[in-house]
Structure 1
């Protein structure tokens, strides 16, 4: 059965690659996933471009595992030498946009779900969710359907991790900061220069170390990434705007960090969103221990995924390599998908 699932997974992934599915434009790939599952007698639900299903013998008295990955992609960059929508197989690699991020994970999770779908003696229910808008952290992807999935106890999130165990993930806050001064004529030394006020806060963002340090990630990372001020050379600017990228670790909540930052800096600080929260799962959780028993290593992931939207324990794991994501001539090794199917099944079998 594993061999058949592998062949079907490659064929499905080739269809997905050949079908453009930029974030917010995933209707056709959602239809492909629906057709694939329905063709196996699996009843699906759909809202917008999100497709989900439960195992055949769902039992509300049992806990539920969410199996989630996404079918949207970024737009191909200008360095592609191959057609990003041609699913070419060469030298053991399947090329194409979304093959690595996160098509290989998605089709492997689908295969694992199909493997368990008809089983009657599972200790857990399984909920498969193929979702949209992950690449833009959109509101109409996983976040939109979570209330419809019922009680979920923990999740496996399919992202390329070389099939190792990402037991924590950084959160993200983007801060819009504004330093206020007073305009004046530069030649007469009038006014209060907002740029100088902003520089003091920028120095703080660059040098401050928060007290709590994550064992997995180290310190919280803050980076000033944009700055804008001034209208002409002889006018002291009254306003200086700058943007800060804050990568939050699991030892702080977004809200805690925001409160601390607003206390320490003089600039006005507005957060665009606190919804992309840091996440983690206890190393003693059964799913983590099952992975360790299979020889997997655990680590903290620096990248952000739909895991940030979950409020339940979650493990990020999948075939492929995060370093290939969003690169030109994206690819995944066929053997990685084969390993992904086997590992997802094996790790779930340890607990179900």
Structure 2
């Protein structure tokens, strides 16, 4: 490889691009890609930094897309790090720093692979890179903004690979062909405040809220589906802000997070929760506001020539046939799937978001070779 993905990874890690700061990362990538003949456009929206880069003709019949992000989560206690979180130091073959696994190294790997591929063996088609600075944040103006802009301007990817870390322990053991949906209910129960010694003069919203939460958690949502593990529901907080031990509060709140498979949709789960809340209201007189927030629906990219191509490339470079998985949290693939078929493959994610985030340098090199092979075989 002519372009040094390890050196590029280090340069990106040294950019302090904690969401929503750009930190110089997209500026660095734009300079590299422009020099290699990519047409680059900043697609910033509402202060969120995004970069679109295309090599080849607009509207090409065949176009391969990569998607990734250069923003990172905060470092936390910097003093707890063994090495500077923005230093990108390489110690005994391991690169340390925020974004070392999630996912500046993957962005460096696919940028390096793309630059070398179009320079050395220009394909009959287009190579597109969509890179956001808002994956770790709200996600409203990151990849979504890029896809909206592409639709408005007639840009399109035939297929897309997202470079999120996908391997639990060993390089090459897993790729993602889908993701569970994710939604949150911000529940508020409203009753009547009163003295704890005279409960008949009040309506305790906490009792009703606990009843509702008990019903929501009493039975599993499902037993799993063909491509997905069982859906999960977690109560993440309950609060009423009441400092007095002898006052029945007027309001109580709870937050519930659901990770759901393709047996459900966000709307079907809203209907399920509303029916339960109504039943509790009819029995207690306590009213509920559920306030749902759907951050992504479940999806799966079924086995296809594209999925097979990525899997073969991973096995060729690692010696492992990757498991086709839908496990884990959400990623920007949940937005890309509405544009084109999408899969995910990246590094081992064992230290992502942790203090002392790090990655073996040889994994970066392997990932770059995998991405290069995917491009070569896709356009063969």
Match of 1:260 among 255, 267, 272: 272
Instruction: Say if 1:239 and 1:171 are closer, same or farther in 2 by CA, change over 3 A.
Output: same
* Aligned residue number for residue 146 of structure 2: 145
- Within 1, Cα distance between the matches of 2:64 and 2:276? 42
* Aligned residue number for residue 108 of structure 1: 109
**What SS does the corresponding residue of 1:187 show, helix, strand or coil?**
coil
* Aligned residue number for residue 73 of structure 1: 72
List runs of 5+ in structure 1 lacking aligned partners: none
* Aligned residue number for residue 307 of structure 2: 288
Residue 231 of structure 1, CA deviation: 4.9
Residue 340 of structure 1, CA deviation: 0.6
- Within 2, Cα distance between the matches of 1:93 and 1:67? 25
**What SS does the corresponding residue of 1:99 show, helix, strand or coil?**
coil
* Aligned residue number for residue 15 of structure 1: 11
How far does the alpha carbon of each residue in 1:77-121 deviate from its partner, in whole angstroms, 9 at most, with x for none? 223121101111111111111111101111111122213325454
* Aligned residue number for residue 332 of structure 1: 359
Q: Mapping of 1:13-162 within 5 angstroms?
A: 13-48=9-44, 49-56=49-56, 58=57, 60-78=59-77, 79-118=80-119, 119-122=121-124, 125-149=126-150, 150-162=155-167
- Within 2, Cα distance between the matches of 1:16 and 1:351? 27
TM-score w.r.t. the length of structure 1 is 0.91
Aligned length: 343
* Aligned residue number for residue 225 of structure 1: 236
- Within 1, Cα distance between the matches of 2:257 and 2:299? 18
- Within 2, Cα distance between the matches of 1:39 and 1:348? 20
The answer on whether the counterparts of 1:275 and 1:309 sit within 8 Å (CA) in structure 2 is: no
- Within 1, Cα distance between the matches of 2:95 and 2:370? 19
* Aligned residue number for residue 270 of structure 1: 291
How far does the alpha carbon of each residue in 1:289-312 deviate from its partner, in whole angstroms, 9 at most, with x for none? 113333322112312111122213
- Within 1, Cα distance between the matches of 2:60 and 2:82? 52
TM-score w.r.t. the length of structure 2 is 0.84
**What SS does the corresponding residue of 2:310 show, helix, strand or coil?**
helix
Q: Does 1:243 align with 2:255?
A: yes
- Within 1, Cα distance between the matches of 2:136 and 2:54? 25
How far does the alpha carbon of each residue in 1:46-79 deviate from its partner, in whole angstroms, 9 at most, with x for none? 12321121123x2625143321110001110223
* Aligned residue number for residue 318 of structure 1: 346
The answer on whether the counterparts of 2:223 and 2:230 sit within 8 Å (CA) in structure 1 is: yes
The answer on whether the counterparts of 1:169 and 1:250 sit within 8 Å (CA) in structure 2 is: no
**What SS does the corresponding residue of 1:243 show, helix, strand or coil?**
strand
* Aligned residue number for residue 176 of structure 2: 166
The answer on whether the counterparts of 1:280 and 1:313 sit within 8 Å (CA) in structure 2 is: no
Task: Give the RMSD, CA atoms, in angstroms.
Answer: 2.0
Q: Does 1:198 align with 2:209?
A: yes
- Within 2, Cα distance between the matches of 1:235 and 1:281? 53
- Within 1, Cα distance between the matches of 2:27 and 2:356? 25
How far does the alpha carbon of each residue in 1:187-222 deviate from its partner, in whole angstroms, 9 at most, with x for none? 122222111101111112222323462334422111
* Aligned residue number for residue 215 of structure 1: 226
Out of 290-299 and 32-41, give the one that drifted further: 290-299
- Within 2, Cα distance between the matches of 1:170 and 1:112? 30
Residue 12 of structure 1, CA deviation: 1.3
Instruction: Say if 1:278 and 1:59 are closer, same or farther in 2 by CA, change over 3 A.
Output: same
- Within 1, Cα distance between the matches of 2:138 and 2:255? 19
**What SS does the corresponding residue of 1:98 show, helix, strand or coil?**
coil
Residue 32 of structure 1, CA deviation: 0.9
Residue 148 of structure 1, CA deviation: 2.2
Residue 21 of structure 1, CA deviation: 0.3
**What SS does the corresponding residue of 2:326 show, helix, strand or coil?**
strand
- Within 2, Cα distance between the matches of 1:258 and 1:153? 33
- Within 2, Cα distance between the matches of 1:38 and 1:318? 25
- Within 2, Cα distance between the matches of 1:156 and 1:226? 35
